[in-house]
Amino acid sequence: MSFKNWVMGSVVAGALLGFSAPVFAAECKTASAQGWGLTQEMAKWQANDMLLLSTGNLPVQNDRFSKPSHKCSLTLLGWSCKATAKICKK
């Protein structure tokens, strides 16, 4: 491989990396879902499942998820939790 081909390859690779990074950042979004359960852990589990289901990642997870944050409250019939996570396309 000549020096000229190596330089051209490096320029093309650098240009592709420059264009792909902003595009990937734009493919991330924040999603949330709500779940209910008799215990707080059951409500969190259901909220996480609903988050996967609502984003098209159940039964096979195709995207990357951040660790979900939960906001839970005790209601008259049990626990209600809202899970929020950042989702990025692979």
Q: What is the mean pLDDT of each run of 10 residues along the chain (90 residues)?
A: 49 43 66 97 96 88 93 97 94
Say what the pLDDT of residue 25 is: 53
Q: pTM (2 decimals)?
A: 0.68
Say what the pLDDT of residue 61 is: 86
Q: How many CB atoms lie within 10 A of CB 12?
A: 10
Say what the pLDDT of residue 58 is: 83
Q: Are strands 63-65 and 69-75 parallel, antiparallel or unpaired?
A: unpaired
43: tokens are: 């409500």
DSSP element (H, E) containing 47: helix 40-54
Range of the domain at 19: 3-89
Domain count, the chain: 1
Q: How many CB atoms lie within 10 A of CB 3?
A: 7
The Cα–Cα gap between 70 and 47 comes to 9
57: tokens are: 């990642």
